[in-house]
Structure 1
């Protein structure tokens, strides 16, 4: 990422507003600094050289006080706006990354899930020092330094040449140490992603590990990664401190050269006191912005690396969407046909499913069966348009007689026909009753008031057996559960998701192993619910492993996987 990456300005509107505001305040600061130096010099020099009374210098003193007050006000205004702008920029870029990750499809989210989580939580937070400290100093270096250097040349060309020839040393050394720091920051972000991925995987699989008594096994591995992350962080800080010292030394030496030269010429009466004071006071101001750019670059290097990662993700292709609008749901379920459907497994020479054929009719229960990894869940995702087939298609035949490939339909319009209950349903933190209030979309409310379930919701809970779960919970519908259904068993969370799906059924019901994690009594409730759905005329497609669910199905479709190269040779 360059000092002002055009990708940031093109993707983030808040960044453009902030750069414009910072440029304006930079010009104001340059003018105020020059005015302050000139007022001080004109207030002091005549008193020393010409014996002018102090009283005659009061107008300059009052003007100086006004300039100082203006600098304070400008600084406060910029600081307040800088923090707010940083919040806006981070929020806007975070939203763009999240929306793009979703648009890439569930498979991309699975492959890069930990990277996206790290980026939108911790990584982009490191952009705040970049906007609050680094960018303002960069603008000041482009405004204050040239302006003060011009004034120095006007008062003393010798000192101007000294500054002109010493200033390039600071950007040169800043670039050298910056490249080194950038590599450390990139490594640090990669280590952070890896550590986060390990911890997320560990937390996700912790119940299983604990069930087998292996919950302490990953501790050593996480500790090794954490120590590596700590070492890289300390190396970055070490380089930052050393480079800061180098830049301070160069700036101090350059100012000393100017001050010594002016001092020697003052003693030799080769320069008057007034221009000498102006030059000596402006010399540090010429170098100060560049010194601060170097110092704050290291504080913002992690944010720059995170922004590069964000733009790399934003450059990834998204899942193509269809252009044809599906008709509005009319209560009549469509038929869904798998026509030689093959989907390529990411990163493997495998098609899962491969050459899948079958048809799901309205008012029937269709079961997808097959070995683990054969592509049953992928077939469901193909029905939803969330994966693109490598060959074949999923076709929809609406009751009106209209036909369409799912890949050609606009996903949002097609999803109005569908309800999907995945193996791991999404459950938001909050009360149990809130899970249904958040999904209220129909004219008939799901809640009776703000606290009580409606009769329709209670009927759906009774159908899935979730009413028995409610009776066991300490506060019933008001019981608070955590992220992912923490506080509920896996089977209870599954029944909550089924209730949420059945309370407002759609013409197409897609369920991924709905009876998994359930005992025999709870499974009977699920089977009765599926029977009721198909009796209502819905097209019901389930991924099934249990014999009871397979026996209930009207149509059983066998799902298989094949090597992509083998299939290519045979075809």
Structure 2
């Protein structure tokens, strides 16, 4: 943002200086014309030159105002673009445990409507803020050379306006923050309602939510009205203070003019110039409220952009090249989130090698998904380390690798997959969703990935084939089809490390078998496969099983799978067994 606004601020300062000079020249020319015509009795022909010059000043001020507006619009557009880009990049970099994962509605509102509030800041508030510094100082120096008493009155009364503005601004900040919190809550709640609408309809609770939305809308309306109320009252206070200050100057000038202490020309010049000293400050107060929402949104953006206090597992910097690794080693890795006493992931150690499937088992909430996210670099480790082992035995710590380069070697299938088109367009096709994993792959590679995921025949049977559009929320696809397309998306990039988080959850036996076979084939072709498993079919194909919460690793065996089946049917916690190792 600093890059895009630096030249704009310089331009605003220059136009502010020019505006101040033009204001003084305008007052001098206007007072001179009035005095010559009304006081000295000159004809209009004799003052036509001064009138022409005055008209040029008016035109120059209008051109400067227009130019400033154009510069402000362009600077605002550039700043908003940079802020949006930086925010989206930061949100994507922090992953599911970042701000977007915890408050997606608030982040979406911030990136769209919130940042748009900066238009008022750039187009109105910032230029007036610069003028509020330059113009009063220039006018004070000019008045001091014409009438010292008037200059003293202006110098004493002008600081009162910023004092009032500070007091009003402190109160307004709280009102704007309340307005923003209410809007963010409404956005998040509406997003949750849309996603959960089928559930609400099934349980007959949809109409009750309409009342909740109405109540939240009323809260937002009252918060907005409170901000407007403060705006109107503050404008009244500032106008009253400026009017009283100008009246003091006018009374002083009038009395001394009547007593003959001031000339008619000087008195008129001072009376025309004094209001111009207060005008920029009054306009600053007026535009402050229009810019307050945008400034508050920018503060929230900068909070998101602040660097994390902890070191990330995968550093954004470091060596760009990732070695041709054959194994992933996790050594006493643990995670504890800020503000919590219990660990989200107890210390765990294991080694996953190429050509094998490593199953992570344990009770729900034990930290399996946390471990997967830590491997991808979205969560910092509290203790321990993660590294990859190359063919020659060389070890490279993940913290030394570039995140983008590291993730380019990883395939990922989450619990609840979302299909997004590789072109980031509004319409998602099966082809576009798969190419998200490898944007430059050809049709043959896409079909190979679909065959590997066991869904090629179903896609081929669709009228539009690969060009079949996927509706919002993947409606129209079964859970099995969704997971297999997500698996194809991961397989198309031929990852060296394939991470799967309960890929068969909610699938029928046929779909589960297709996914399990695809996972096994990927391992047989040389990939390192790590899968979070709650179902026996996945544990059955595993070469090693790691219990999260117990951090012990063992080869998979029929006995361990049989033990898992018994526990699942009995409904007892999965963390207690999965065989004896």
Structure 1 Cα separation of the partners of residues 46 and 321 of structure 2? 86
**Counterpart pick for 2:27 among 28, 37, 56:** 37
8 A contact 1:342–1:351 mirrored in 2: yes
TM-score, with structure 2 as normaliser: 0.85
Query: For 1:440-478, what per-residue CA distance to the aligned partner results, in whole angstroms no more than 9, with x for missing partners?
Result: 46xxx533xxxxxx2221222233243345356564333
Match in the other structure for 1:415: 407
Match in the other structure for 1:299: 290
8 A contact 2:183–2:220 mirrored in 1: yes
**Counterpart pick for 2:236 among 228, 240, 245:** 245
Match in the other structure for 1:190: 181
Query: For 1:530-570, what per-residue CA distance to the aligned partner results, in whole angstroms no more than 9, with x for missing partners?
Result: 122112111111111222222222222222279xxxxxxxx
Shift of 1:13: 1.9
Q: Does 1:325 align with 2:316?
A: no
Q: Does 1:430 align with 2:427?
A: yes
**Counterpart pick for 1:52 among 42, 50, 54:** 42
Matches within 5 A, 1:15-414: 15-109=5-99, 110-317=101-308, 319-320=311-312, 321-322=314-315, 325=319, 328=322, 330=324, 334-414=326-406
Query: For 1:509-543, what per-residue CA distance to the aligned partner results, in whole angstroms no more than 9, with x for missing partners?
Result: 11112223433332222122112211211111111
Aligned residues: 541
Q: Does 1:529 align with 2:518?
A: yes
| Cα root mean square deviation, aligned | 2.7
SS of 1:291's equivalent? Answer: helix
Match in the other structure for 1:569: none
Structure 2 Cα separation of the partners of residues 352 and 22 of structure 1? 52
SS of 1:334's equivalent? Answer: strand
Structure 1 pair 357–50 and aligned structure 2 pair: CA distance change class (3 A): closer
Match in the other structure for 1:14: 4
- Which 5+ residue runs of structure 2 have no aligned equivalent? 421-425, 552-581
Shift of 1:484: 5.1
Match in the other structure for 1:545: 534
TM-score, with structure 1 as normaliser: 0.87
Highest RCO, 1 vs 2 (Cα 8 Å, sep ≥ 6) = 1
8 A contact 1:336–1:396 mirrored in 2: yes
8 A contact 1:375–1:561 mirrored in 2: no
Structure 1 pair 326–79 and aligned structure 2 pair: CA distance change class (3 A): closer
Q: Does 1:470 align with 2:465?
A: no
Shift of 1:237: 0.8
SS of 2:328's equivalent? Answer: strand
Structure 1 Cα separation of the partners of residues 496 and 165 of structure 2? 64
Structure 1 pair 44–100 and aligned structure 2 pair: CA distance change class (3 A): same
Match in the other structure for 2:575: none
Query: For 1:165-224, what per-residue CA distance to the aligned partner results, in whole angstroms no more than 9, with x for missing partners?
Result: 322232222222222112211222222233333233333444444454444454444433
**Counterpart pick for 2:490 among 493, 501, 514:** 501
- Which 5+ residue runs of structure 1 have no aligned equivalent? 1-10, 448-453, 563-571
SS of 1:424's equivalent? Answer: coil
SS of 2:301's equivalent? Answer: helix
Structure 2 Cα separation of the partners of residues 402 and 258 of structure 1? 82
Structure 1 Cα separation of the partners of residues 5 and 69 of structure 2? 15
SS of 2:384's equivalent? Answer: strand
Structure 1 pair 26–104 and aligned structure 2 pair: CA distance change class (3 A): same
Structure 1 Cα separation of the partners of residues 399 and 455 of structure 2? 36
8 A contact 2:329–2:352 mirrored in 1: yes
Match in the other structure for 2:554: none
Structure 1 pair 282–326 and aligned structure 2 pair: CA distance change class (3 A): closer
Shift of 1:434: 2.5
Structure 1 Cα separation of the partners of residues 383 and 142 of structure 2? 71
8 A contact 1:130–1:303 mirrored in 2: yes
Moved more, 317-326 or 408-417: 317-326
Moved more, 249-258 or 317-326: 317-326
Shift of 1:232: 1.7
Structure 1 pair 327–70 and aligned structure 2 pair: CA distance change class (3 A): closer
Query: For 1:96-146, what per-residue CA distance to the aligned partner results, in whole angstroms no more than 9, with x for missing partners?
Result: 333334444532333454443343233222222122111111111111111
**Counterpart pick for 1:460 among 449, 455, 459:** 449
Structure 1 pair 504–162 and aligned structure 2 pair: CA distance change class (3 A): closer
Structure 1 pair 438–394 and aligned structure 2 pair: CA distance change class (3 A): closer
